[in-house]
């Protein structure tokens, strides 16, 4: 063992810096490189801002702007700048990803949920590893709903309704618990922590938290209601 510190995040940062340097080296003078890169990076920044919001008051005609950039021979530089900007923005900390992977490993159990539920759980894991917490909560809610409704359908159980005669997923959780597919008290916990948090993340509160506990509850419920 050596005393050298290894950090994959540093290697990725160095790689992005090197990419930007190599792009600028394509020009004859440092001044030209700086001017073109500054312009391309500014355009990339504006595109990224608008795409991240998916809505602006006065949306610029980006397809037309891209065409004009191509006519001026700047489309390639803008694409390079956009690649670099997105790399910095989307690159997770893999040190944190590794820690989150160990956290998930503590929840792993040997089980075989239905294929459609497994697909949702795969998305849950990816979202958690990349620290996409609101998305993770939404996927937990979807996995829970799919698992419970698939079991109810397989058992040919008439969809339960609330006091108003309306179908609702919380009532389906209560039915699953009544039939012994969930542990006593689990329906209430799932409703308050997984269902309501997932609904808030999807509809009103995209900065929600508590992903790891939601995953733990979802995995436990998926095992309980599997066929």
Task: State the residue range of the domain holding 217.
Answer: 94-225
Say yes or no: 162 and 116 in one domain.
Answer: yes
pLDDT digits (tens, 9 = 90+) for 176-220: 999 999 989 999 999 989 998 998 888 877 667 789 999 999 988
C-alpha to C-alpha distance for 227 and 214, rounded to whole angstroms: 22
Q: What does the block give as tokens for 35?
A: 């001017």
Q: What is the pTM of this model?
A: 0.76
User: Over 60: is that where the pLDDT of 70 sits?
Assistant: yes
Say yes or no: 74 and 110 in one domain.
Answer: no
Say yes or no: 174 and 132 in one domain.
Answer: yes
Say yes or no: 86 and 131 in one domain.
Answer: no
Say yes or no: 76 and 100 in one domain.
Answer: no
C-alpha to C-alpha distance for 180 and 74, rounded to whole angstroms: 64
Say yes or no: 210 and 102 in one domain.
Answer: yes
Q: Among residues 90, 121, 149, which one ends one of the domains?
A: 90
Quick one: pLDDT band at residue 21, thresholds 50, 70, 90?
Answer: very high
Task: Tell me if 222 sits within 8 A of 111, measured CB to CB.
Answer: yes
Say yes or no: 17 and 39 in one domain.
Answer: yes
Mean pLDDT over the full length of the chain: 86
Say yes or no: 42 and 150 in one domain.
Answer: no
Residue 108 lies in a domain: yes
Say what the pLDDT of residue 117 is.
81
Say yes or no: 81 and 159 in one domain.
Answer: no
Residue 161 forms beta bridges with which residues?
167
């Amino acid at each position: 063992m050596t005393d050298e510190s290894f950090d994959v995040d540093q290697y990725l940062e160095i790689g992005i810096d090197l990419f930007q340097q190599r792009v600028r080296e394509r020009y004859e003078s440092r001044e030209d490189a700086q001017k073109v890169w500054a312009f391309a990076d500014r355009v990339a920044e504006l595109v990224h801002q608008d795409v991240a919001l998916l809505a602006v008051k006065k949306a610029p005609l980006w397809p037309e702007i891209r065409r004009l950039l191509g006519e001026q021979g700047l489309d390639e530089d803008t694409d390079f700048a956009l690649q670099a900007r997105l790399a910095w923005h989307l690159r997770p900390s893999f040190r944190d990803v590794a820690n989150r992977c160990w956290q998930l490993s503590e929840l792993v159990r040997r089980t075989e949920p239905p294929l459609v539920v497994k697909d949702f759980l795969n998305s849950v894991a990816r979202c958690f590893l990349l620290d996409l917490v609101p998305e993770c909560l939404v996927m937990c809610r979807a996995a829970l709903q799919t698992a419970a409704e698939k079991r109810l359908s397989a058992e040919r159980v008439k969809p339960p309704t609330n006091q108003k005669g309306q179908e609702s997923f919380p009532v389906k959780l209560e039915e699953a618990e009544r039939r012994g597919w969930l542990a006593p008290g689990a329906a209430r916990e799932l409703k308050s922590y997984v269902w309501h948090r997932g609904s808030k993340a999807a509809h009103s509160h995209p900065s929600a938290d508590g992903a790891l506990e939601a995953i733990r509850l979802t995995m436990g419920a998926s095992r309980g209601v599997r066929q």
